[in-house]
Amino acid sequence: MTGRAEPSLWARLLGGFPPHGVPFLAADPGPDAAGQRHLALVLAYAGEGFLGWQVQPRGRSIQGELEAALTRLCDHPLRLHASGRTDAGVHALGQVASFATSSTLSLERLTRGLRSLLPPGIHPRALGPVPPEFHARYSAQAKTYDYWLWPRAEAGIFLRARLWPLPMALDPQAMAAALARLPGPRDLAALASQGAEVNGSTVREILEARLDVTPEGPWRVRITATGFLRHVVRNLVGLLVRVGRGQLSPEGMLAAIAAGRELRGGSKAPPQGLYLSRVYYQPWPGPAPD
């Protein structure tokens, strides 16, 4: 389907974040029998300047910055578990991370401390107690990724950190027709990059696939699924752009995905247009109005 993307990308960048589905407890129950408090963070971050979510031997990562700040605040080393890893240059509006701590600092002081210690590119949206069995990754039931691109962006040099500027026109009807065929169980092996870590099946349930078009503005490709493999959304958007340019038919795109082999030909979209928008910890309720 196609439609007008609201709220706009600009509203998102100003803090008009999508809702989150983290099952925070109404009150902090304090430490468990082992002396641990179980907490979760909802995060927004700008991916440029970081090597992605995961701690790396060299260079800055989102996880590394957060763990360093929390270790200082909580006065002991700790490990964050994210809903999923984002790559270098990829952004998040609603990343979720869970952790355990023996610190007795109040949630308010932890939040203030994080906002003081973290670099400007990382924003803690919410911090709260969760049930002991909650795990940011393994408790997740679905995720939504948004990819923003801007056709006919002749001078895209000012946009490259936040979306994919394209100098050419694209056919939104062809792109929407290709996306409309995606929902359902799909083997994503062909869209995953070589070397992607996969435990078990590569089949995921695509719950939503749509294109939102803003006249004379950025377009949004929204994909919601029960799970993703590495680079799936970026490879998919790369194929969609080929469809929009008339280089590939919607049927040809589906055939390429169904072939089950890694796609070749440099069709991967750049990372800066990709945003982890929302993680669901209850069954997906259906398309969101945003």
22: number of Cβ within 10 Å:
23
Distances (CA, A) of 28 to 90, 128, 135, 137, 227: 32, 8, 17, 22, 30
- Cα 105–Cα 107–Cα 112 angle in degrees, nearest 5: 90
Is-catalytic flag, 87? yes
59: number of Cβ within 10 Å:
12
Q: Which of 87, 146, 171, 212 is catalytic?
A: 87
Q: Yes or no: say if 149 and 269 are a contact pair by the CB < 8 Å rule.
A: yes
| Residue linked to tokens 């259906």 | 286
Task: Output the DSSP codes for 48-103.
Answer: TTS--SS--SSS--HHHHHHHHHHHHHTS----EESSPPPTT-EEEEEEEEEEE--
- Residues tagged active-site: 87
